Structures are given as C-alpha cells and as structure tokens.
Amino acid sequence: MPDTANAIADIHMLDSGYSREARSLLYQAYRHEPTFAFIFEAERAGYEQRVRATVRELVKQHFLQGLPAIGLLVNDRLIGIALIAPPQRRLGITESWAWRLRMVLSTGFGCTRRYLDYQQAVQACLPNDAVHVLPLLGVHPEFQGLHLGEQLLAAVHNWCAVDEHSQGVVLDTGNPRYLAFYKRQGYEEIGEIAVGTVREHVFFHPNPQRLQSATV
C-alpha cells in the first residue's frame, strides 16, 4: 500500500503516453457514480465492462484529437486527472461517428443513446460558448481525502484562465457527496438535469482573472 498520508503531487500536462493509466484511474473514479450506473445499467450483467469500454473510448478519442489533460503524479504514478474540452472543440468527441460506432459495439445502442442524451442536456446548461468543460475528472480512491482534488482543480482553473477567450470552467456531477466540495472551490450551480432517477448538477467556475477584475 502507498503511503498516502504524506503524498506530494506534481502537476503535469498529459499526452497519449498516459492513456493506460488514465483509463485505469477514471474507471475507478466512475464505476460507482450514480450517473454512470443509470446510463450503463448497473443492474444488468456486464456493467463494469461497459464502464471500462466507455472510459477507454472517451480517453482514446480525447488524446486522438489532441485535447488537453492535466494530471497529478505522486512518485511518477498518475493519481488524479482532468480531461479538458476547450471552447472551440467541445463537441468533437461525441460528434465523431467513429466514436459512436465503437460505443454502440462495446456498450450497446441503448447505453450509447442515453450517454449522448446526457451530454446534450449538459451542453444545454452552459452559460455561453466561451467556457472550458471537464468531461471526465477524478482522483484515485486511495488518494482521496488528502486535498488533492483541490490541487487538481486549482491547476485546471489556472491553465484555462490563460485562454483569453474563455470565461471559466464547467463540470457536472450526479453524486450528492460532491456538491458541497465543488461549492467550496468557488463553483456555482447553473443547472440541474434528470438522468433517469439521478439529478445531475451542472456547475460553473469563472476564470481567476475574471474574479480578480470583478473585485477591483
């Protein structure tokens, strides 16, 4: 077991060389999430395989399109990650017919349709086109509770703020245990959507320089 109590994480921009580690980490982060449980039918046999396949295809397409990803590394081990969709290229992954075909073949038509409907509902909540979106975000369960999520989000906010055309960051969650955490990080809820019986909350965090200029 790693010594998580004294974990010191470094921030890195990630490329496709981290695909395998990213898939493993994000699978651990999302396999028990209520939204994924509904979309990929947790009550039906093969649920974990469908989650693995979805994470695999999302990570593969993300790096294939050269989209940015920020990681937290402890002793060269990837323990936290945020996939980032910039304003100009936000819909590229789910609009790809090759991605949709791979999803249908690996998760089934119904699961793929539900995932696309969920993504479209989140997009409809965006305050405008000038925002970065975090389609997948997670810290490995072994390293949770060590304030590494705060460090990861701070790195994301600072990186996105460099883009003068961006007004901030949007993410969403259907897990009630994360709501207070995101609010403590400066996020405000801008929408709520129904994903089956799950209430998905959409949050917005303005870029740091916009916060600073608003207080001057």
Q: In the prediction, which pLDDT does 209 show?
A: 62
The token pair that represents 44 in the structure block: 């039906």
Q: How many domains does the chain have?
A: 1
28 touches 141 (CB < 8 A):
yes
147 touches 3 (CB < 8 A):
no
pTM listed for this prediction: 0.90
CA–CA distance, 112 with 80 (Å, rounded to integer): 26
161: domain CATH number is 3.40.630.30
Instruction: Calculate mean pLDDT across residues 85-96.
Output: 71
Range of the domain at 40: 4-215
pLDDT band at 132 (very low <50, low <70, confident <90, very high): very high
